[in-house]
Amino acid sequence: MKKITLLTLVVILLLGMQPVYAYKIPNKFWPIDSKYQSAVNSNDYSNIITYATQEIDLMKSQPQNETVLQILGSRTEMLAKSYEALGNYPMAADYFEQYVYYAQALHWDDAVRISKAKVLHYRPRLDIYEQINDPSVYFNAINEPTMGVLFGVTSDAGIRNQLTDESVILLYHQFGSTDFGWLNHIFYQAQEKNICVELALNVLYEGNDIRQTAASGAFFDALFAELNQYPTVPVFFRFASEMNVWSNPCTPQEFITAFQYVANRVHNEVPQAAMVWSVNQSSSWNINMHDYYPGDQYVDWVGVSSYLGKYFLGRNDWSAEEQFNDNLFFAGDSADAVLALEEIVTTYGDRKPIMLSESGVSHYINSLGIDETAWAIDHLHQMYEYLPKVYPQIKAILYFDKRMPAEVNDYALSDNNVLANEYLMEVSHPYFIHGGETSSQVTYRKIDNYVKVTDDVLVFGVYPHVYKNTTPQVDVYFDGYYITGLTAPHYLATLDFSNESAGLHELKVAVNGVIEKTYQLEIVHPIQLFLNGQQLNSDVAPEIIDGRTLVPVRIITENLGANVEWFGDRREVSVSKDGVSILMGINYPNVIVNGEYETIDVAPQIINNRTMVPIRFLAEKFNLNVAWDEVNRSVYLTH
């Protein structure tokens, strides 16, 4: 009885639970527990692991009552913390994940949240993303580019003098203010540059302003009248953002009612505006950001305020017991741009485009007087290199280039020339949308287990996540042979397989000793096209679709002497030569040849932004002979 009472006291002290006397712990437990307690008292992590594992193995065979769950939970937590202390973060992640089960069963809600955050950060990740020229994610939302990322900074940012090709401007305006001077100035600039504006309508008094929204019709009348002076400027209307961290909060229903009121008015009165519901990447304790979601019909884009800093709340004196704050709020070693956005993208990225409605990386800690430029550059690369690859749902990234002396962190690019130059380099990449462009040149698509290479070259980016190592080397192997090592910041590979045999191969990427992934890679050498013995070249290779070879329509115009007209409004292409006229519709199997309808096996298609047409059908209509060489994957056209 004494031993049972002592254990119960330990459980109560550690876990805050009530004792359960009806259950008798097995006698085998106590000799192990004596060694376990001694290891805990001396911080002997190796022996904690040894004896906690033995206790868990013993207690798993016992009835699942509260006492057993308490023992299993406390020992599993100690296993996780021991591996954490030893720097074995993958093993720590495994045991924190197991601990979540027990913590949920025992309703230890804070422990559940903390442990889930540790699992998120401690578990290594390694994924690859193929660079492509077609949209990988597109929702047809208001002002959504088909692919690529809009970028820009705050409207009064110093770096804007160097941003000749920004594609969106972040403009703040205060709820209730009818002083529209600066707003008109920025909208006029956007109109002249043919770019977008993110209009962040801030509620200074937070919950109090929310409760006054429906009574502020006159303000919205005036604001919308101003916006409609610039009908060609696409607007992202961000209303009352970061409600999940307000110091003067409102209830979720109060917020939803106000947002829906504004959304209805915006959709009805400002057709060039997309409604943005925007949260902070981490919520205040016991706040669920998703409780404030107004509903899909009221939200066009989902926004996130994403800021990364080395020191949580600008402090470097947190105790070891308080270090979980970094895990929860994406600071310090847990400042990972991809992980910070995971919850939002997972929840909404299946149906809404995402934007970083404001963001930044801290390069100077005002509260400590510490310069962290190198840290900031590393994490700026994460934000601008990783996010467009991992989350093609992210279609805009706005940077908060403004110095706020009263705040603990300085994110301003204009205060740091080194960081500013890195930013300018990052936004020059082809997956960003520049100036008045409506789409980028490339985007990315995750490779799960299999990738097919049809033009001899595979371009892919890598996202490596290793806790406490922001720049691990990623090694690439082909059929078991090492071929290259990828390093930060780009983690971008261009592999040429033109000299490799067609068929199935193995592609492996690895962070040595931490994680590796293997993919099945199929090489299909591109189809060659010849006219009277002369090879015809194209920027997009011919493709075989359902047994028929499709070629870019430009091949027809430049090499067969045919006339081609494209009717974009009808998505039709007309090809004519020597008295033969053929009208074809994209993805439509019926064609018109000299006024007569015919049906073809495979309709024209848009592939890699090129109109592809069936070569055999066209060639035979123009009295050409067509031959296919299966071995050499070649099409031969002869007169």
The enclosing domain of 10 has a CATH number of 1.25.40
- How far does Cα 453 stand from its chain's mean position? 24
Average pLDDT over residues 497-504: 92
Residues 419 and 490 in one domain: no
User: Quick one: CA torsion of 426, 428, 430, 431, rounded to 10 degrees?
Assistant: 50
Average pLDDT over residues 610-617: 85
How many whole angstroms separate alpha carbon 605 and alpha carbon 613? 7
Asked, for residue 431, whether it belongs to a domain, the answer is no
Asked if residue 4 has pLDDT above 50, the reply is no
Nearest to 626 by CA among 573, 556, 557, 549: 549
Domain CATH for 618: 3.30.457.10
Asked, for residue 46, whether it belongs to a domain, the answer is yes
Residues 158 and 298 in one domain: yes
Asked if residue 208 has pLDDT above 50, the reply is yes
Which pLDDT score, from 0 to 100, does residue 78 have?
97
In the predicted model, what is the mean pLDDT of the chain?
Answer: 92
- Structural domain boundaries enclosing 477: 446-523
Lowest model confidence (mean pLDDT) among 20-34, 275-289, 496-510 = 20-34
Average pLDDT over residues 332-354: 97
Which pLDDT score, from 0 to 100, does residue 14 have?
40
**What's the pLDDT tens digit per position in 6-57?**
333 333 334 444 444 568 999 999 999 999 999 999 999 999 999 999 999 9
Q: Where are the beta strands (DSSP E) in 78-212?
A: 125-132, 150-153, 168-174, 196-202
Give me 550's structure tokens.
């499709």
Average pLDDT over residues 174-200: 98
Which pLDDT score, from 0 to 100, does residue 21 have?
52
Number of domains comprising the chain: 4
Residues 385 and 484 in one domain: no
Which pLDDT score, from 0 to 100, does residue 307 have?
97
**What's the pLDDT tens digit per position in 546-567?**
888 888 887 777 787 888 888 8
Residues 252 and 301 in one domain: yes
**What's the pLDDT tens digit per position in 405-415?**
888 999 999 99
Residues 152 and 85 in one domain: no
Asked, for residue 589, whether it belongs to a domain, the answer is yes
Residues 413 and 303 in one domain: yes
Tokens 């502020």, residue? 216
> Whole-prediction pTM value?
0.85
**What's the pLDDT tens digit per position in 107-118?**
999 999 999 999
Asked if residue 490 has pLDDT above 80, the reply is yes
How many whole angstroms separate alpha carbon 378 and alpha carbon 426? 12
Evaluate whether 556 touches 536 at the Cβ level (below 8 Å).
no
Asked if residue 249 has pLDDT above 90, the reply is yes
Confidence of residue 539 (pLDDT cuts 50, 70, 90): confident
